[in-house]
Chains A and B, each alone.
Chain A
Amino acid sequence: MITITHYMVLSAALFTLGVIGVMTRRNIIIILMSIELMLNAVNINFIAFSYHLQNAIGQVFAVFVIVVAAAEAAVGLGIILAFYRNKETVNIDEMSLMRW
């Protein structure tokens, strides 16, 4: 019997994986991909609640989350490409121009 709690646990676990990816990896592309994992975890939560509460609002909001994720991925990767052209690196330890 699969209850809403199962989906919440799955979503939380996937979110944690995304957070671990952001905190431990140094390659900025992998960090952006971990952010996508986090957004997917949120989407799973929305869709699961939409199914269990029988309300389609969850799916509408999931569509908006996907839209925002697409926009953020495009701009983020554009920034990475522009940075790579200048500094030839994708290691975020070396992206410290504006640090104190």
Chain B
Amino acid sequence: MVEAIILPLVKIVIVLVAVLVTVMYIVLLERKVQAWVQVRLGPMRVGPHGILQPLADVLKLFVKEDITPVKADKWVFTAAPIIVLVPALIAFAVIPFGKTVTLFGTTMPGYIADVNVGLLYIVSVAGIGIYGIILGGWSSNSKYPLLASLRASAQLISYEIAVTMTLVTVIMLSGTLSMVGIVDAQLAKGWWFGFMQPVAFAIYFIGGLAETNRAPFDLPEAEQELVAGFHTEYSGMRFAFYFLAEYANMIVVSTVATTLFLGGWLAPFPNVPALSLLGLVPGWAWFILKTFLFLYVFLWVRATLPRYRYDQLMRLGWKWLIPLAILNVVVTGLLKVLV
């Protein structure tokens, strides 16, 4: 009774706090990485080397005035940032951080819940997040946000198809939809699925960039194009929610990629006895390392690639990624039957 309720609650609190702190520090990391790529230093004033910059950002967003446009639909205007943030956070309920985690002396499973349709749960929850973008733009009752929100949501639903197709190939390899089951399947097969399915990995990464509105697919929120996109009219805490939601989505995409393609909590080369030293590092440390590797590539890509125009973006999604993903499913199916 206590175990069934208290332990998951503790895990939920830990995961939520960890995610929120990580989001704040990824904002700082992004600014620093971009700065170093551009041969400058980034935030350096607040705290040593700018370490306390996120606290300053949070404080600023808290005390800013919350403006609501006069003719905006008040309820929807208030609800839209919440509709964007909640799916980004509840997706963490099925992400396996490790097989077992030892905390305060008790050993417990390293995930909040092992749903037998875990992967589909994450996909469906990501689909709900689209509403926040559409409604945010529409409820602002102003031209630029509406256009930007329609563009952004069209982009999201287009790339959702390609991403879901790549997930189908992973499910074909692992035989189960449960996230823990997928990592166990990678252990059983001896290969991480990123090596068995390089095309799916690449398409998932590109689709993940597009799903989170990150460069080079960040036209909907580019400052030079549409003022500030669908969150033009938002300020203060509500803008902070959109911001949080975008970075939390980035973390969800990275953790899902780690679980599906990079072996989750598995150490590299788990079947080679000579490297069993790597097994001394706990599973969740490997997980966090791989996730940060993925996140770093996100930031790296932003600093490097120029932005796609909207029609180029849609053409890439519909005419290249979706046929490629479907072809990948067919080839994987054929190989499974013939080999």
Touching in the complex, A and B, CB below 8 A? no
- Which residues of B are in contact with A by a Cβ distance under 8 Å? none
- Which residues of A are in contact with B by a Cβ distance under 8 Å? none
